[in-house]
């Protein structure tokens, strides 16, 4: 295949991902310019989203930091995988105790909703624990915009991870 075609496809994918990430956060280009205090200009970001302007590494880093996503995800659409991961087993009793509380952060609400969706998909309504698969963790980190390690810290900080004995 022609390298020029591959490069163009890569640019189109990054551009589409930029737009999708912004839209998933329900933000307009103008709102991003305001929220970034002018660090990300609406006109420039729109140009990156259309693929009309070259995205430098520096600007890609700034955008990834603003969106709180890994740079690897912005550029490839995939989370970076590092070695063998520890099993993530969720204490559903503890999770249920958090459900509906007023002081639960938006991030934790997303985690609770996500895990509820996994339970429904697996039809595992009577369980007291739930093992998150690698793909579950990957999708969850994308949903809340963090790394796997940050997800584990969040879950353990809330007492949701059951450690292997």
Q: 163 lies in a domain?
A: no
72 and 121 assigned to the same domain: no
At CA 141, angle to CA 36 and CA 151, rounded to 5? Answer: 100
96 and 62 assigned to the same domain: no
CB atoms within 10 A of CB 123: 7
Asked if the model's pLDDT at residue 80 lies above 80, the reply is no
Is residue 119 within 8 A of residue 130, CB to CB? The reply is yes
71 and 92 assigned to the same domain: no
Instruction: Looking at mean pLDDT, say which of 72-81, 84-93, 106-115 comes out highest.
Output: 106-115
Where in the sequence is the domain holding 51, given as residue range(s)? 3-76
What CATH number is given to the structural domain containing 8? Answer: 1.10.260.40
96 and 49 assigned to the same domain: no
Domain boundary among 76, 100, 125: 76
Give residue 25's Cα distance to chain centre: 11
Asked if the model's pLDDT at residue 12 lies above 70, the reply is yes
Domain boundary among 43, 76, 109: 76
Domain boundary among 20, 48, 76: 76
What CATH number is given to the structural domain containing 110? Answer: 1.10.10
72 and 102 assigned to the same domain: no
72 and 106 assigned to the same domain: no
Q: 97 lies in a domain?
A: yes
Confidence of residue 84 (pLDDT cuts 50, 70, 90): low
104 and 72 assigned to the same domain: no
- Count H helices, E strands: the chain? 9, 2
Q: 54 lies in a domain?
A: yes
Q: Which of 131, 157, 142, 124 is closest to 74 using CA atoms?
A: 142
Separation CA 95–CA 112 (nearest Å): 7
Separation CA 12–CA 21 (nearest Å): 14
Number of domains within the chain: 2
CB atoms within 10 A of CB 155: 23
104 and 129 assigned to the same domain: yes
Instruction: State the average pLDDT over residues 81-101.
Output: 78
**119: CB partners within 8 A, 6+ apart:** 92, 125, 127, 130
Q: What is the DSSP string of 109-123?
A: HHHHHHHHHHHHHHT
42 and 72 assigned to the same domain: yes
Residue with tokens 């329900």: 26
Confidence of residue 85 (pLDDT cuts 50, 70, 90): low
Q: Residue 38, exposed/middle/buried by CB under 10 A (0-12, 13-18, 19+)?
A: exposed
Average predicted confidence (pLDDT) for the chain? 85
Instruction: State the average pLDDT over residues 145-158.
Output: 87
């Amino acid at each position: 295949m022609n390298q020029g075609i591959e490069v163009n496809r890569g640019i189109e994918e990054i551009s589409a991902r930029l737009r999708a990430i912004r839209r998933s956060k329900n933000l307009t280009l103008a709102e991003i310019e305001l929220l970034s205090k002018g660090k990300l200009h609406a006109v420039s970001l729109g140009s990156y989203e259309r693929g009309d302007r070259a995205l430098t590494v520096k600007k890609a880093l700034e955008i990834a930091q603003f969106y709180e996503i890994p740079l690897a995800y912005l550029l490839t659409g995939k989370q970076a995988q590092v070695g063998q991961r520890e099993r993530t087993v969720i204490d559903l009793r503890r999770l249920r105790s958090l459900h509906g509380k007023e002081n639960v952060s938006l991030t934790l609400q997303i985690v609770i909703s996500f895990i509820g969706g996994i339970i429904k998909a697996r039809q595992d309504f009577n369980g007291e624990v739930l093992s998150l698969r690698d793909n579950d963790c990957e999708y969850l980190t994308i949903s809340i915009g963090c790394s796997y390690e940050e997800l584990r810290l969040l879950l353990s900080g809330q007492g949701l991870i059951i450690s292997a004995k």
